[in-house]
Structure 1
Amino acid sequence: MPGLLEIICLHDADARRAEEGGADRVELLGSLDDGGMSPEPALVEKVRAATGLEVRPMVRLRAGFGTDGGEFVRLQGLVNAYRDAGADGVVFGFLNGYDEVDAEVCAALAATADCPWTFHRAIDQVLDADKAWRLVPRLPRVDQVLTAGSARGVEFGLDYLVARCRADAQVAALVMAGGGLHAEHVPWLARAGVRAFHIGRAARPLGQYKAYVDAPLVRTWRELIDDEVGRAA
């Protein structure tokens, strides 16, 4: 199967440049605060009009990976608004007070979305990773798990991520590697069975979010991923 390349985008200009560079999907953020917050539905609509790429907005309204009953109603409303605005999927991931995957909340939000979704990097914050990886694949409609293998980023989680993917083909099929991903990580991950990759700063000149996504940089990642996934296959 070909590799998948997802780019963090903040507006329609980013999305257009991501598409020009050969990306497959946009993770749309409203802000970069605390690892990424929800965009306004109007921004989703604007990005949808600007690109033919798959668009998945973040569903997250506060720092951390917990939520509560009152906020959950707002999250459901956001998901419905995103779908009405043309989003192809969504991105979220919630933990309970014991730093375990909050399966009840995630399943309920997935039912609201009624579309494919990405479990966000909350999985890198759980206390029991084995338990989390048994639970997440059973959540309805989840088709990707964004993970660095460590809360500190891919640089620190690479060995763990490679080992887990080599040990379980189902995990490898779900993993989208991201969170400080560097080019030198890609061959190791591809050989472990990973086929999806996620970048943010690496798609921008000098790694600065003040700069727009750069199509030639995206193209270099596109070529790298295609080359390494092709070799691994």
Structure 2
Amino acid sequence: MIEIIATTLEDVKRIEASGADRIELISGFSEGGLTPSYALIKRAVQSVNIPINVMIRPHAKSFVYTEEELQLMLEDILIAKELKANGVVFGVLNNQNKICRPSLEKLLKACDGIDVTFHRAIDELSDPAAGIEILAEYKQITNVLTSGGKGNIVHNIPIIKAMKEKAKHINIMAGGGLDFHNINEVMKNTKVPQYHFGTAVRYGKSVFGDVDGEKLRLLINTMSESII
């Protein structure tokens, strides 16, 4: 499973045409990803046949949310469902930098029938592997996006492996620093089922660059050959 970040309709179409498996639709790439607009979600879902998971993140200040912000997130989840998105992407922490169970449970109540990805908020934890054990208690969580904590994803391979061992029904998705230079090493040593790319397949490796279809096709071919 290869998931690619999209911020525009053109991104969405290029990602599908290049052969990727799934799209994470966001706005505010330079801020780590924010909730995209209603119109963009609607048009994106209508434009392609591959699954689209929608970022649910009202601000980039932190992953700690007030009750009012949680209400915004709940409404955005319902909108994504209404617009036939495949799933949603979010992460919630508390002031102690741990997974916030009350907020998580509140959001999950709105997620029946769709995929749920807990994003790289988990990398803020002092022990991401312990965080996976908490998330694995919730059957609605289908994926967790992680680089194994802070720092270089290659250096974090042992942590990603530990997370995979504790994930139970959850698919671990490696992402955050993946590129052409390290993907084979990460695939070989983690054997996680999903991989997530952002700037690695964009012109200039920039959050402001468009998706480079040729580069993305080359990446997918490289990964396929590595599996073989």
Q: TM-score, normalised by structure 2?
A: 0.90
CA deviations over 1:30-68 (Å, ceiling 9, x no partner): 212431111111110011111111111110012211112
Task: Say if 1:56 and 1:100 are closer, same or farther in 2 by CA, change over 3 A.
Answer: same
Contiguous gaps of at least 5 residues in structure 1: none
Question: Which residue of 216, 219, 222 maps to 1:221?
Answer: 219
TM-aligned CA deviation for residue 202 of structure 1: 0.9
- AA of the residue aligned to 2:148: G
CA deviations over 1:63-91 (Å, ceiling 9, x no partner): 21111211111111111111112211000
Distance 1:31 1:194 in 2: 27
Whose relative contact order is higher, 1 or 2, with alpha carbons under 8 Å and at least 6 apart? 1
Q: How does 1:115-154 map to 2 (within 5 A)?
A: 115-154=114-153
Q: Give the share of equivalent positions with the same residue, in percent.
A: 26
- AA of the residue aligned to 2:23: V
CA RMSD for the aligned pairs?
Answer: 2.0
Q: How does 1:3-18 map to 2 (within 5 A)?
A: 4-18=1-15
The equivalent of 2:95 in structure 1 is: 97
Q: Which is worse superposed, 209-218 or 148-157?
A: 148-157
The equivalent of 2:198 in structure 1 is: 200
TM-aligned CA deviation for residue 6 of structure 1: 0.5
Distance 2:142 2:109 in 1: 14
Higher helix content, 1 or 2: 1
- Which of structure 1's runs of 4+ aligned residues deviate more than 6 A? none
Question: Which residue of 36, 40, 51 maps to 1:39?
Answer: 36
Aligned length: 225
Q: TM-score, normalised by structure 1?
A: 0.89
Distance 2:135 2:66 in 1: 20
TM-aligned CA deviation for residue 159 of structure 1: 4.2
SS of equivalent to 1:183: coil
Task: Say if 1:142 and 1:163 are closer, same or farther in 2 by CA, change over 3 A.
Answer: closer
SS of equivalent to 1:210: coil
Task: Say if 1:125 and 1:180 are closer, same or farther in 2 by CA, change over 3 A.
Answer: same
Contiguous gaps of at least 5 residues in structure 2: none
Distance 2:19 2:87 in 1: 19
Task: Say if 1:128 and 1:30 are closer, same or farther in 2 by CA, change over 3 A.
Answer: same
SS of equivalent to 2:142: strand
Distance 2:167 2:34 in 1: 29
Asked if 2 retains the 8 angstrom alpha-carbon contact of 1:42 and 1:85, the reply is no
